Structure 1
Amino acid sequence: MKQPNRILGLLCLLLFAGGSKAQPGLNWTEVHPGIWKLTVGKPQRISLLSAAEATPNRRGLAELPKTAFPLDKAGISVKIVNQKTYLRFPLEREEQLFGLGLNFQTVNQRGRILNLHVDHYGGKDNGRTHAPVPFYVSSRGYGVLIDAARYLTVYAGTAVRTDTRNPPVLSDRNTDKKWSSQPYSDAVEVLVPADGATIYVFGGPTPMQVVQRYNLMNGGGYLPPKWGLGFTQRVPTLYSQTDILNEVKGFEAHNFPLDFIGVEPGWHSMAYPCTFEWDKTRFPNPKSFLDSLARRGVSANLWLNPYVSPTASLYPKIKPLAGSHTVWNGIVPDFTLPQARQAFKGHFMQQHLKLGVGGYKIDEVDGYDNWVWPDVATFPSGLEAEPMRQTYGLMVQTMTGSWFRELNKRTYGLVRASNAGASNFPYVIYNDYYSHKDFITALVNSSFIGVLWTPEVRASPSAEEWVRRMQSVCFSPMAMLNAWADGTKPWTFPEVEKAVTEVANLRMQLLPYLYSTFAQYHFEGKPPFRAMNLVEGFGFKPTTVAGTFDATANPYAMSIRKDIKDQYMMGDYLLVAPMFTGEKSRKVYLPAGKWYDFYTGKLVGENEEITINPSLDKIPLFVKDGGLIPMVPPRRQAPKPGEVLPLEVRHYGTLPGSFLLYDDDGVSFDYERGAYSFTRLSVIKDPNDPLKGQEITVPKGKPFGYSASVKWTFMSVGQ
């Protein structure tokens, strides 16, 4: 080890011990309003944020409230020893911690140890996941991001230092029933296996504003094309262009929504490894095929993984720009090299984008360890295998997204791996795991870390599970049936076809609300699908249920923490509480204020826990008092540029309310140059009429795809 590092390490060891003063040399710089940055040691040449290449949304950041540095600086410590960076951040006794990756079973991460490592999700919340984002949000209204492309180990309130200023209570297990196997810890500690890192602290003052700052620093949330919020069907692997066109006709015959279709590996002339070239037997005329889809209002999304087959025309260009190891016999391009990115761009532009391809499904950029390059792999740029794995999904998203932007064409697709800085990417995460309940928990957790997640549907053993899964996916960032393996259709179970069609139609009716919610994600940084812990007035806190002693199964009587992980908000007003197979009833936790049933307008409760008994044909939905829900009539496809639709606005409750209805052309990036409109929808109380919808002012010279004559429906009047 170099002598300066040894001296710095010894100095930091002394500073890391107790004391009340801030550690000297930690120079926090406010880089954006309410966001502070600290660089320690020698950060690696590539970080998560540098791989994501995000441009901050400065206008959105400037509109958030001013806030002071939210942590006790004296409680933050850094030391660098033997090319490892040790970080420590203070915790208050009642704090809850959220985020730290795309977790599938837990929401509050306090008391957990996580090894943040890009990987397939293996069934445990241990840090190995598709988006191991090293960002946590505190219930006290601040956030911390470690911008290091390494396998980080996070001790989220688990370790107790001997020099702690808040020692846990000492008790005797033999006689004290309050003895705990997990003593109180007053710190989050992070091990970065590198001799430096960049750290960001985000102020609030609320958890939602912390998340907003994080998303806006990373460019603001992505605004999908309108067709991306419609329904998508992914077809079996070896379907030909004829098979796919027949599939589209089948959706038309069943009058079922369909906006884009997923074309699986069989479109390649070779897959696993890939050529990225059309198979001439199954797709003899790709341009004609894509044009035929376009005439039916359907976009094509192509499956790929980025590992190049020796039979591909790209291979000679990529071979000297690839890593030392293969993945499924394909070479791994080093996308830190401009030459590799340029070679892919030229090939993909010619073979796909200029023919009319609408997007990609990027597979296998995550793990398992025996499927991707090993940590002993080397790359021509000199970047090590570990940071390459942590950033590869980011780089592929950045690269492919830029191609569509160059054509002024919005895209929307799927990806298997992501990380910090991904808010502005046109991709939704998916995986091969298939637990319905855990899928909803992942959707909840995605809202803390700036990624989107879909609880996709593939197959079901019963009609009940089928309809419940379809209901959930229609209230997510991507309504997708992934039938690549068995060719299932939305109408596979005839006994629930009507209910499945109704919920798909409801999603289409809610497009004005959903599209405006995604616009809020872009301009304000608010995630479109939100954990209840981000909702203002949500007073419920996870409780800890004492574990029962068992000499073999639970010898330390570990307690069980109860999270709110099976309900969430879609936008500002709509609370979604999915049902699962076998359930006849469920509990729903309502935030402050009155809440009303979406379908009937009836009052259901206020700041309390309720029990509901919904029918099979409905997903439970609740609307906040004063909430406005703009809707259009049922339709099979998202509106095209220039279409003008009738608009119904539903009002719930007794309070006045308002909603900012967003619109643009739905397909291009012209909105970034001002070609968009926000139109305020308002319900007021009138002396002669308790509730009244105000006439809207249609914006002049701006896109607005709705009729100026609004149908106002007061759902709770007379209830």
Structure 2
Amino acid sequence: MKKYIITGVSLCLLILITNARSFAQIKTMASGIKMITVGAPDKYTPYGFCEEAPMKTAIGALPQAKLPFNINDIKININNRGVIVEVPLGQDEQLYGFGLQMGSFNQRGLKIQPIVNDNPLNDRGYTHAPETFYVSNKGYGILINTARYTTFYCGNTAKLMDNARSNSTKADGNSVAELYKTSNKSSGEVTVDIPGAKGIDVFVFEGPSLMNVLQRYNLFSGGGALPALWGLGVKYRVKADFNQGQVDKMADYFRRNHIPCDVLGLEPKWQTAAYSCSYVWNKDYFPTPNRFIDSMKKKGFHINLWEHAFVSPQSPLYEPLKNKSGNYLVWNGLVPDFADAATRNIFGNYHRKTFVENGISGFKMDECDNSNLAFGSNSWSFPELSEFPSGIDGEKMHQMFGILYQEAIYNIYKKANLRTFMDVRSSGSFASSFPVALYSDTYDHDQYIKMILNTGFSGLIWSPEVRESNSITDFMRRCQTAALSAQMVFNSWYLQNPPWLQINKEKNNENQLMDNAKEIEGDVRQLLAFRMSLVPYLYNAFADYHFKGIPPFRALVVDYPEDKNTYNLSNEYMIGKSILAAPLTEKDKERSVYLPAGIWYDYNTNQKYQGGKTYTISPTLTQLPLFIKEGTILPLAKPVEYIMPNTQFELTCYVYGSKAAAANLFEDDGVTFNYKEGHYNTVTLTWNKNKGTVTRKGQFKAERYIIKKWVVIQ
């Protein structure tokens, strides 16, 4: 029986906990995944809303699990305050995760509060995607299954009894500098404070490696997301007040100038009311919406609609949801009780009949985070004291609102056997299976790069979208980062013209284009062409995410957890299994790049580099800062301007080094969930004795990939 430390409680509470102890248990949820339960956990928890079944066969195929400590050393204490969890922490452990963190990377030594917030600056833990889940480079992960506002002390506390038995103590300081030093980073535990809770579930994800931990977490969440194939192309969001004719002109601009684009996003004015939302086409702007959608399809465009979930009195959804919403309004609109399945179904069914059945390919789900907690003047969202018919309170609803909103919309597409790739401003734990990219109204390029890495620790997808910029250099470096991310998006919701024609907002909206606009357009076209050439490789990386749980974008520490040089490396990352990306920002004419063990090739020059060292690179604005691992077969496609269900990719296979490991491509229809029934192919590329071979295995009848050429790079 699991033992729990109980201190400082009243007799009444002690009796309650003693009774709970007899029901406390450690339950095996899947191979290498255990759940510790003590007391009476909350009714509404992140795992309670996870609709996808764990992929237990894939989890069972992972290496035998192992913890670096005894699971019985995890202490859970219930007292008058709530629940306190203490997890052992080794002296040399490094910690990562807690959702989409901005301002921090290695969490060791920090006090983190993963709370949803619309402006998540600094290293406090405020975020668009609060997850009470962290991982260690020693090969395990801990998830506290709660929607309460929770605090993690990541090895930065020192107890009196710990200090008394310490063999080595530092001399007390008496200077201001000493006063503000963080000197408790060697604490032997992570302490988790969950105020108000009367019990808790603690999930333990065992390794043995950090990669295996992330695989178990993603597979346990239902497998990683596999977006529609067209979603890996380019998305462009038009100006908020564009009408049907203006959107049509923008579509013609892309096709006429042979600029790749798969998705056009419509911003608020497509609706009759936006704050709060009516979810009704504005006929003054879009007089024939269904005809418009059909015409865009014929040109190869998918349409994505902006909205948020606060329901206007003008909406047909208002009356059906009036008694299924919280007791506070936002922008005079209802806050639907998404904790209730019936409410999600009402909201989802309206969207299905009104939009999805008429050809809308996805939604941008905005404003589902919380007001900026850093400012008292920023209080647009519903208060934490809100009450909902389901019984959930405002605090828990805030933490879960984004992911429940996603469920309401994504379920439409699943039931229609139609895949998508959408946008959202808040997510959370167990979200791995959602093909939905997070975005932010913040615009710090350094943080945007760091957030690509942080999503890999948390089963999330991040979109470092491009808007206007300070300079051409700033704009092009941002385009490079976007091209090397999960979703490439240009967000021009306040720009009359594409930002590459005029980076200055005011001049852009006055139609004053730059003198060198066509030159910059050509440079952007070159970057977008590379993005389209990478789609088959990215698609296979997402297939590995779904079937194996391997994050398609991840920090180097995931692949090299024993390499101390990777512990705090927050501006380089792996794409798939073979590409290392090292983006630059406007301030970087050059940058240093650390390459882990092995031989690496500069993608632009084919120069070879010995791993385990740091180098300086200075790629141009049209050169992608990439390194390819020796032994890689890299399939790159002849760029297409958009992706259709019958699109075939003509591939050139680049072989790096004299010997190369086999590479795979995932081949299916790209638009349905039929792959779950086995209707896909694994296309295997091999290079042996100076000859390339291609083999197909699977039930998909068509051929999406045609190998045109092999190129060896020594």
TM-score by length of 2: 0.91
Matched residue, 1:660: 664
Whether the 8 Å contact between 1:454 and 1:473 is mirrored in structure 2 is yes
Equivalent of 2:122, from 121, 124, 129?
A: 124
Matched residue, 2:584: 579
Please state how far the C-alpha of 1:52 moved relative to its aligned partner: 3.1
Distance 2:203 2:173 in 1: 44
Against the structure 1 CA distance between its residues 174 and 479, is the aligned structure 2 distance closer, same or farther, given a 3 Å change threshold? Answer: closer
Question: For 1:30-179, what aligned pairs fall within 5 Å after superposition?
Answer: 30-82=28-80, 84-164=82-162, 167=166, 169-173=168-172
Whether the 8 Å contact between 2:430 and 2:459 is mirrored in structure 1 is yes
Distance 2:22 2:340 in 1: 38
For structure 1, list consecutive stretches of 5 or more residues without a partner in the other structure: 13-22, 544-562, 687-691
Please state how far the C-alpha of 1:608 moved relative to its aligned partner: 1.2
Whether the 8 Å contact between 1:168 and 1:185 is mirrored in structure 2 is no
Equivalent of 1:336, from 335, 339, 360?
A: 339
Deviations 1:246-285 (A, max 9, x none): 1110111221111011111111111100010100111111
Matched residue, 2:14: 6
Please state how far the C-alpha of 1:583 moved relative to its aligned partner: 1.3
Equivalent of 2:299, from 282, 296, 300?
A: 296
Q: Match of 1:117, SS?
A: coil
Alignment pair present for 1:323 and 2:355 = no
Q: 610-619 or 175-184, which moves further after superposition?
A: 175-184
Distance 1:82 1:354 in 2: 52
Question: For 1:570-649, what aligned pairs fall within 5 Å after superposition?
Answer: 570-638=575-643, 640-649=644-653
Q: 60-69 or 80-89, which moves further after superposition?
A: 60-69
Matched residue, 1:556: none
Alignment pair present for 1:514 and 2:526 = no
Please state how far the C-alpha of 1:128 moved relative to its aligned partner: 1.3
Against the structure 1 CA distance between its residues 601 and 90, is the aligned structure 2 distance closer, same or farther, given a 3 Å change threshold? Answer: same
Equivalent of 2:461, from 452, 474, 479?
A: 452
Distance 1:175 1:398 in 2: 54
Q: 156-165 or 391-400, which moves further after superposition?
A: 156-165
Against the structure 1 CA distance between its residues 286 and 178, is the aligned structure 2 distance closer, same or farther, given a 3 Å change threshold? Answer: closer
Whether the 8 Å contact between 2:345 and 2:408 is mirrored in structure 1 is no
Whether the 8 Å contact between 2:681 and 2:699 is mirrored in structure 1 is no
Alignment pair present for 1:189 and 2:191 = yes
Q: Match of 1:39, SS?
A: strand
Against the structure 1 CA distance between its residues 383 and 568, is the aligned structure 2 distance closer, same or farther, given a 3 Å change threshold? Answer: same
Question: For 1:65-464, what aligned pairs fall within 5 Å after superposition?
Answer: 65-82=63-80, 84-164=82-162, 167=166, 169-173=168-172, 181-183=182-184, 184-193=186-195, 194-368=197-371, 370-464=379-473
Whether the 8 Å contact between 2:684 and 2:696 is mirrored in structure 1 is no
Equivalent of 1:540, from 534, 540, 564?
A: 564
Matched residue, 2:553: 529
Matched residue, 2:700: 702
Please state how far the C-alpha of 1:192 moved relative to its aligned partner: 1.2
Distance 1:307 1:63 in 2: 43
Deviations 1:106-149 (A, max 9, x none): 21101000122111133212121111111111011111001111
Whether the 8 Å contact between 1:647 and 1:711 is mirrored in structure 2 is yes
Q: 66-75 or 472-481, which moves further after superposition?
A: 66-75
Against the structure 1 CA distance between its residues 487 and 208, is the aligned structure 2 distance closer, same or farther, given a 3 Å change threshold? Answer: farther
Aligned partner of 1:145: which letter?
L
For structure 2, list consecutive stretches of 5 or more residues without a partner in the other structure: 1-8, 374-378, 503-516
Whether the 8 Å contact between 1:698 and 1:708 is mirrored in structure 2 is no
Whether the 8 Å contact between 1:98 and 1:448 is mirrored in structure 2 is yes
Equivalent of 2:479, from 457, 470, 476?
A: 470
Please state how far the C-alpha of 1:74 moved relative to its aligned partner: 4.5
Whether the 8 Å contact between 2:53 and 2:220 is mirrored in structure 1 is yes
Distance 1:10 1:27 in 2: 13
Matched residue, 2:5: none
Whether the 8 Å contact between 1:302 and 1:357 is mirrored in structure 2 is yes
Whether the 8 Å contact between 1:365 and 1:392 is mirrored in structure 2 is yes
Alignment pair present for 1:678 and 2:678 = no
Deviations 1:407-454 (A, max 9, x none): 111011110111101000121000100000100001110100111111
Please state how far the C-alpha of 1:652 moved relative to its aligned partner: 1.2
Please state how far the C-alpha of 1:655 moved relative to its aligned partner: 3.0
Deviations 1:362-384 (A, max 9, x none): 00110115121101211112211
Whether the 8 Å contact between 1:67 and 1:204 is mirrored in structure 2 is yes
Q: Match of 2:131, SS?
A: coil
Equivalent of 1:485, from 494, 502, 511?
A: 494
Deviations 1:571-629 (A, max 9, x none): 00001111111311111111111000112322023221111122222121000010111
Matched residue, 2:507: none
Distance 1:644 1:131 in 2: 36
Against the structure 1 CA distance between its residues 538 and 79, is the aligned structure 2 distance closer, same or farther, given a 3 Å change threshold? Answer: closer
Distance 1:707 1:62 in 2: 31
Against the structure 1 CA distance between its residues 611 and 178, is the aligned structure 2 distance closer, same or farther, given a 3 Å change threshold? Answer: farther
Whether the 8 Å contact between 2:273 and 2:312 is mirrored in structure 1 is yes
Q: Match of 1:251, SS?
A: helix
Whether the 8 Å contact between 2:337 and 2:389 is mirrored in structure 1 is yes
Distance 1:339 1:67 in 2: 39
Aligned partner of 1:579: which letter?
L
TM-score by length of 1: 0.91
Q: Match of 2:83, SS?
A: strand
Whether the 8 Å contact between 2:236 and 2:489 is mirrored in structure 1 is yes
Whether the 8 Å contact between 1:336 and 1:381 is mirrored in structure 2 is yes
Distance 1:291 1:491 in 2: 28
Whether the 8 Å contact between 2:648 and 2:706 is mirrored in structure 1 is no
Whether the 8 Å contact between 1:118 and 1:129 is mirrored in structure 2 is yes
Against the structure 1 CA distance between its residues 696 and 537, is the aligned structure 2 distance closer, same or farther, given a 3 Å change threshold? Answer: farther
Matched residue, 1:557: none
Matched residue, 1:689: none
Q: Match of 2:347, SS?
A: helix
Q: Match of 1:323, SS?
A: coil
Deviations 1:636-681 (A, max 9, x none): 112x233333221111123322111111100111111111111211
Against the structure 1 CA distance between its residues 103 and 168, is the aligned structure 2 distance closer, same or farther, given a 3 Å change threshold? Answer: farther
Aligned partner of 2:238: which letter?
V
Please state how far the C-alpha of 1:491 moved relative to its aligned partner: 3.1
Deviations 1:440-481 (A, max 9, x none): 001110100111111110110211111000110011111000
Aligned partner of 2:463: which letter?
T
Matched residue, 1:559: none
Distance 1:211 1:707 in 2: 30
In angstroms, what is the RMSD of aligned CA positions? 2.2
